[in-house]
Amino acid sequence: MSFRASIITLYPEMFPGPLGYSLAGKALEKQTWTYDTVNPRDFGSGKHRQVDDTPAGGGAGMVMRADVLASAIDHVSGPDDQRKRLLMSPRGQPLDQKMVRELAQEPGAIIVCGRFEGVDERVIEARNLVEVSVGDYILSGGEPAAICLLDAVIRLLPGVMGNVESGENESFESGLLEHPHYTRPSIWEGLLIPDVLTSGDHGAVARWRREEAERLTRKMRPELMATPDKKK
Ligand code: SAH
> Where is average pLDDT lowest: 132-146, 162-176, 193-207?
162-176
- Mean pLDDT computed over 128-140: 98
> CB of 60 closer than 6 A to ligand 1?
no
Q: Is residue 19 one of the residues assigned to a domain?
A: yes
Q: Is residue 121 one of the residues assigned to a domain?
A: yes
The verdict on 37 and 132 lying in the same domain is: yes
Residue to probe by mutation, ligand 1, list 89, 95, 134, most atoms within 8 Å of CB: 89
Q: What is the pLDDT of residues 153-194, one digit of tens each?
A: 999 999 999 866 666 778 887 889 999 999 999 999 999 999
Answer with the residue of higher pLDDT: 173 or 91: 91
CATH number of the domain within which 220 lies = 1.10.1270.20
Percent of the chain with pLDDT over 70: 95
The verdict on 119 and 182 lying in the same domain is: no
The verdict on 17 and 112 lying in the same domain is: yes
Query: Do the strands 3-8 and 33-38 form a parallel or antiparallel pair, or are they unpaired?
Result: parallel
> CB of 115 closer than 6 A to ligand 1?
yes
- Mean pLDDT computed over 7-16: 98
Nearest Cα to Cα of residue 114 among 133, 95, 97: 133
Q: Is residue 49 one of the residues assigned to a domain?
A: yes
> CB of 144 closer than 6 A to ligand 1?
no
pLDDT for the residue numbered 163: 67
> CB of 131 closer than 6 A to ligand 1?
no
- State residue 216 phi and psi, 5-degree precision: -65, -40
> CB of 135 closer than 6 A to ligand 1?
yes
The verdict on 30 and 140 lying in the same domain is: yes
For the cut 60, the answer to whether the pLDDT of residue 232 exceeds it is no
- Mean pLDDT computed over 94-107: 98
CATH number of the domain within which 143 lies = 3.40.1280.10
> CB of 169 closer than 6 A to ligand 1?
no
Mean confidence (pLDDT) of the chain = 95
Q: Is residue 160 one of the residues assigned to a domain?
A: no
Q: Given its phi and psi angles, is residue 135 left (phi above 0), alpha (psi -120 to 50 degrees) or beta?
A: left
Provide the number of structural domains found in the chain: 2
The verdict on 201 and 138 lying in the same domain is: no
148 C-alpha to ligand 1 centroid (Å): 14
Q: Is residue 231 one of the residues assigned to a domain?
A: no
Q: Is residue 113 one of the residues assigned to a domain?
A: yes
- Distance (Å, whole) CA 151 – CA 217: 24
The verdict on 134 and 19 lying in the same domain is: yes
The verdict on 21 and 91 lying in the same domain is: yes
- Distance (Å, whole) CA 225 – CA 20: 35
Atom of ligand 1 minimally distant from the CA of 133? 23
Q: Which of 123, 154, 185 is the last residue of a domain?
A: 154
> CB of 137 closer than 6 A to ligand 1?
yes
Q: Is residue 18 one of the residues assigned to a domain?
A: yes
Q: Which of 96, 119, 154 is the last residue of a domain?
A: 154
Residue to probe by mutation, ligand 1, list 139, 140, 147, most atoms within 8 Å of CB: 139
The verdict on 212 and 180 lying in the same domain is: yes
Q: Is residue 191 one of the residues assigned to a domain?
A: yes
The reported pTM is: 0.95
- Helices 97-104 and 143-154 cross at an angle (nearest 10°) of 70
For the cut 70, the answer to whether the pLDDT of residue 224 exceeds it is yes
Q: Which domain holds residue 126?
A: 3-154
